[in-house]
Homo-oligomer: A and B are copies of this chain.
Amino acid sequence: MKHGGDLSEAMAHSGGDAAAWLDLSTGINPWSWPSSGVWPDAVWQRLPSRADEAALLGAARAAYRVPAGTDLVAAGGTQALIQFLPYLAAPGPVAIVGPTYHEHAAAWRDAGHQVIMIDDFAALPGNVIHAVIVNPNNPDGRIAGHAALAEVAAELRRRGGWLVIDEAFADVDPASSAVALCEAGPIVILRSFGKFYGLAGLRLGFAIAEPAIAQRIAAALGPWAVSGPALRIGADALGNEAWSERMRAALTRQARRLDAVLTEAGFEIVGGTSLFRLARHREALKLHAALARQQIWCRRFDYAEDWLRFGLPPDDAALQRLAAALKSIV
């Protein structure tokens, strides 16, 4: 299972149409930002303007607490940045802290870099000039502290490389963000819009970096990298701090309820964020298949057969459905 979030695979597995499935295979917020989806026709018809892009970047700068002297670039999804960065980075080996979201390694390899997977961020191999860390990490929720990040960034500055920090899930834990470190180090922070705002189909993400790096990325992406609807929705949503504060609290409560259901079913909670929970069970693979037969789709891992990752059930009924399904299996 390469990615969560694609019910094509689930339906091929156990039938049913998409509406019948409870999809817990992603870390995407089930309580989406309530966009109407209806705007002036110009949003669809016209090329996005520089004024529209400036409005989005202003809202993102405030929401992500980007200090003056550090720049932002908007892209059509964080994935677009993950794909392009390895082509913009200096040639040379990269260390990736894993296990983690596997598209980082795939993209760096595809662009011709040697990839060295490490599990301890402090033990940076002597030959790498770049490093990638997902922080908080997906799937286990591990968080690297600012001191460690600053130290690695300083070392990579000496080696002529970059430290990429993928903060795809930092919205639920703003204190974890390394945004204040960009001024001092060759850091590229990636922020995902679609996960916390529950709009993964929109395709919107950001890179945050010192001006020289940000300009390099912006030039590579070129004009009109973000769609009209994404500019509009992104500016509205990122500008609403009251919504994001309420949402953080609600996600924390729902994650606790999910933990209770999983623990009751014999899982041990390994970690995660309040957008997904990683749980261990020695029968995890069997449970994955049995849940799929009941049209509940969670995320399994080829490299850790006793792990399952669960996204948040959207309501009490879904939580009960998961609890009942687990009870019927275990």
Please state if B45 and A198 are interface contacts (CB–CB under 8 Å): yes
Mark interface residues in A34-53 (1 if CB within 8 Å of B CB, else 0): 01011101111111111100
- Whole-angstrom distance between the Cβ of A153 and the nearest chain B Cβ: 25
B226–A203 CB distance below 8 A? yes
Kindly state whether residue A80 has any CB partner on chain B within 8 Å: yes
Contact A225 B80 (CB under 8 A): yes
Q: Which residues of B contact A222 (CB under 8 A)?
A: 79-80, 82-83, 103, 106-107
Interface residues on A, range: 35 or more
Q: Tell me whether A227 and B44 are in contact in the complex, defined as CB-CB below 8 angstroms, given that A8-B49, A220-B83 are known contacts.
A: no
Query: What distance in Å separates the Cβ of A80 from its nearest Cβ neighbour in chain B?
Result: 7
A97 an interface residue at 8 Å Cβ cutoff?
no
Please state if A201 and B223 are interface contacts (CB–CB under 8 Å): no
Would you call A230 an interface residue if the criterion is a C-beta within 8 Å of the partner chain's C-beta atoms? yes
B contact residues around A48 at 8 Å (CB): 201
A7 within 8 Å of B (CB atoms):
yes
- Chain A residues within 8 Å of B, Cβ to Cβ: 3, 5-9, 18, 23, 26, 28, 32, 35, 37-39, 41-51, 76-77, 79-80, 82-84, 87, 103, 106-107, 110-111, 194, 198-203, 219-230
**Chain B residues in 8 Å Cβ range of A6:** 47, 49-50
Answer whether A77 and B224 are a contact pair too, CB < 8 Å, given A6-B47, A47-B5, A47-B26: yes
Report the bound CA distance from A7 to B5 in whole Å.
38
> Are A201 and B26 in touch, CB under 8 angstroms?
no
A42 to B6, CA, bound (A): 12
User: What B residues does A198 contact at CB under 8 A?
Assistant: 45
Give chain B residues whose Cβ lies under 8 Å from the Cβ of A225: 76-77, 79-80, 203
Residues in B with CB closer than 8 Å to A194 are: 47
